[in-house]
Chain A
Amino acid sequence: MRHLLDTRTLSRADALSILDVAEDMADTQLREVKKLPTLRGKTVVNLFFEDSTRTRISFEAAAKRLSADVINFSAKGSSVSKGESLKDTAQTLAAIGADAVVIRHGASGAPHTLAASGWIDAGILNAGDGTHEHPTQALLDAFTMRRRIHGAGASRGRDLDGVHVVIVGDILHSRVARSNVWLLSSLGAQVTLVAPPTLLPVGIEGWPASVSYDLDAVLAENPDVVMMLRIQGERMHDAFFPNSREYSRRWGLDDERLARLTGDSIVMHPGPMNRGLEISSGAADSPRSTVLEQVSSGVSVRMAALYLLLSGEREDQR
């Protein structure tokens, strides 16, 4: 694997291989000494143009447990024009000798631009770009689902065939939703997107997912997974919805809706949560909730991605 830029072009075989390596990584995390020597001497740069403490520390933990040297580069607030700083920063990191760059950027496609630019030779790992994709989030979500559904010891090699996943919230602006739609469908899951019509992109018809405006009707289908997305209250200023109270009433996972979930169905959230808005505390803290498992899965999946990116590169050079 040269780069990990999106799940749209990630093959099913590559996705399964990342998930299986992540299982190996997860096993090592149960040991008393969690650190592996695998990436000793490699330099991983966390290049964050947007603030994201959660994602950054997850990548940092992943790289450090593989013994890579980690440089955290927060480009936010830089006074140079943003375009110049992407190019200049990339060239600077190349000169420093970065082997992998984990990039978070507010502009959709920035990781693609970096990978195609020739400014830097390192492997590029997309840690969230604008409203485009967040591939490691989708991979950790799939990893978490696979473990809940098949069991931690029996997940290797398994896909998500026939699993019904409902994703609820601001699909229009969500990179998490996009990455999940492509990845989950390629793993065989049946995806339903639920949102107010204003928060669904025009042109969604071609996506491998069904679309509904009615959360209650979709919950009545007894889905296996209900994934709630963070909603930004400020969206109401652009008339995407009247106010957060109405949003919460129609599209929030409250205690009453939680009680209607059946069997072993699970509740997911990529964090950070707005408790009381898109998800109630009761739902967030219930046994169905995988919120904290998602966080620990994140470290395993990111270890796997870094390992495959950097060891693959080493093979290329031989």
Chain B
Amino acid sequence: MTTPTPTTSKDTAVQNETYLIRGARLSSGETTDLILENGVIAELGNGLTRAGATTVDAEGLIALPGLVDLHTHLREPGFEHSETVLTGTRAAASGGYTTVFAMANTSPVADTAGVVEQELSLGEQAGYARVQPIGAVTVGLAGERLAELGAMAESRAKVRVFSDDGLCVSDPQLMRRALEYVKAFDGVIAQHAQDPKLTPGAQMNEGSVSAELGLTGWPAMAEESIIARDVLIAEHVGSRLHICHLSTAGSVEVIRWAKARGINVTAEVTPHHLLLTEELVRSYDARYKVNPPLRRAEDVLALREALADGTIDIVATDHAPHPAEAKECAWAEAANGMVGLESALSVVHESMVETGLIGWADVERVMSRTPAQIGRISGQGLAIAVGNPAEITLYDPAARSDFAVADLRGRSINSPYLGTSLPGRVQATFHRGYATVLGGELVPLEKIQELVASHA
């Protein structure tokens, strides 16, 4: 065994790391080798060779552009016992993500240029995925005064997506102003559609199951009425609107109507709303408590259809980590939310691909390309083509296993899928040309830190 020749500078050693990926299948069905060099896709084709490259056998694996999540809760600053930017981006990388949009409901709230720049820096230091901050629409998420949207847009974080997620911008006049104002910098308002006056104390979907369980209902129309109102406002002022975690069949109808009218609206669905139903609440197991709540089987089917036909544009995780004690309690006392980054691709595979509703080219569109476009982020969600940034996920579609705590790489384990059989496995993730996941395992922190230092 020979010792590798020491290189003259550490920078060169790291930056010159080259990968030769052999035999990956693209979403088009074509099989190809890929060479990743200097942060870009240097070559595509069959029978490629490259001296000194690290070879990755990708036979049987699908190569997708790195996934982009428009809706992640990273919890830092303020709630580091649930998640940090580092642990959250490790979870992201292990799920095949190369970019996450970090929601604004941190403490302090991401409502100033200072906080969004801090989040951006934390992401850069972590190195496992790009972190793109989302700015709050209103100061402190209080729904009263606009936050400094322009300052956040002009900051180093270049914020384009604004959201009070967790809370609805329920005041219609304030929503109108926000939609109008962000036109100045091509921003979008991502609305958490929930009329607070129609959902006091809401615990689960309102219907036959809530009636039986004696849990306060969260009626579908409390979501649908806000979406209907907001698409009309967006139409009137000619603004760009995005609807977070759409969860009901009725919401799908409203979006379909709005798009047919030419209104500039996009919508997301979470993986859990594509797979799980309110029947799970019968266990009173708080892992199934989420906002918006799990809905009826009819809603799940309508959401799948809408994602397949393009009415719903993207899948976003709403990854919401919580410590164990926030879930080990009576239902009404438990926190809302589920972790989702590590399981998202498998759940979409199960609910959309296995069912024959969409193919891998659509997965690429709804989990990478379109979220990047809605978020106006550069260098992400681009096709696998020579010259494009080396942001790539290698996924083994043939695998199947029971989802386990060991599959969770963030700080929290509030997953609804533990013990559930799910298909597929992320084998490798490449971000900025380097691997964050290799052989199905996260690349160790020290190695990533070295790479980050070399890129700095």
Contact = CB atoms under 8 A, between A and B. Distances in A.
Which 3 A-B pairs give the minimum distances between C-beta atoms?
A83-B329, A109-B284, A132-B214
Interface stretch (B43-51, B145-153, B155-163, B331-339): B331-339
Contacts of B214: 108-109, 129-133, 175, 178
Interface string A291-308: 000000000000000000
Contacts of A113: 284-286, 329-331
Interface in B110-137: none
A203 B209 contact: yes
A116 interface: yes
A201 B214 CA distance: 9
Contacts, number: 96
Contact of A203 (B206, B216, B286, B330): B206
10 contacts: A83-B326, A83-B329, A83-B333, A86-B333, A109-B331, A116-B283, A131-B214, A202-B210, A203-B207, A203-B208
A178 B208 CA distance: 13
Given A82-B330, A87-B329, A130-B332, A108 B215 contact: yes
A130 to B, nearest CB: 6
Interface of A: 8, 81-84, 86-87, 105-110, 112-113, 116-117, 129-133, 175, 178, 201-207
Contacts of B283: 112, 116
A117 to B, nearest CB: 7
Contacts of B325: 81, 83-84, 87
B329 A108 contact: no
A102 to B, nearest CB: 16
Interface string B206-229: 111111111111010000000000
B328 interface: yes
A86 B330 CA distance: 8
B329 A82 contact: yes
Contacts of B209: 203
A61 to B, nearest CB: 27
Contacts of B207: 202-203
A205 B208 contact: yes
Interface in B194-213: 203, 206-213
Indicate the size class of the contact surface on chain B: 20 to 34
A108 B202 CA distance: 13
Interface string B280-320: 00011110000000000000000000000000000000000
Nearest to A105: B330
A59 B227 CA distance: 50
Contacts of A84: 325, 329
B330 A109 contact: yes
Interface of B: 203, 206-217, 219, 283-286, 325-326, 328-334
Contacts of B286: 113
A294 to B, nearest CB: 22
B74 to A, nearest CB: 24
Nearest to A204: B211
A83 B206 contact: no
A202 B284 contact: no
A133 B286 CA distance: 19
Contacts of B284: 108-110, 112-113, 116
Nearest to B334: A83
A205 B209 CA distance: 11
A116 B214 CA distance: 18
A132 B329 contact: no
B328 A178 contact: no
A42 to B, nearest CB: 26
A86 B332 CA distance: 12
Contacts of B219: 202
Interface centre among A107, A117, A129 (most CB of B within 10 A): A107
Contact of A86 (B212, B215, B329): B329
Contact of B217 (A83, A133, A202, A207): A202
Nearest to A175: B214
Given A113-B331, A202-B206, 7 more contacts: A83-B329, A109-B215, A109-B331, A113-B329, A116-B285, A131-B214, A203-B211
B278 to A, nearest CB: 10
A266 B385 CA distance: 81
Q: Which of B206, B212, B331 has the most CB of A within 10 A?
A: B212
A107 B217 contact: no
Contacts of A175: 214
A175 B328 CA distance: 23
Counting chain A CB atoms within 10 Å of each CB, the highest count among B209, B214, B285, B332 belongs to B214
Contacts of B208: 203-206
Contacts of B331: 107-110, 113
B250 to A, nearest CB: 14
Contacts of A202: 206-207, 210-211, 217, 219
Nearest to B332: A107
Contact of B330 (A107, A133, A201, A204): A107
A3 to B, nearest CB: 13
Contacts of A132: 213-215
Nearest to A119: B328
Given A112-B283, A116-B285, A201 B217 contact: yes
B333 A82 contact: yes
Nearest to A174: B214
Contacts of B334: 83
A27 B356 CA distance: 66
Given A108-B215, A112-B284, A201 B210 contact: yes
Contacts of B330: 82-83, 86, 105, 107-110, 113
Contacts of A204: 208, 211
A105 B332 CA distance: 11
A44 B203 CA distance: 32
Nearest to A85: B329
Contact of A108 (B206, B213, B285, B328): B213
B62 to A, nearest CB: 39
Contacts of B333: 81-83, 86, 107
A109 B213 contact: yes
A207 B211 contact: yes
Contacts of B203: 108
B337 to A, nearest CB: 15
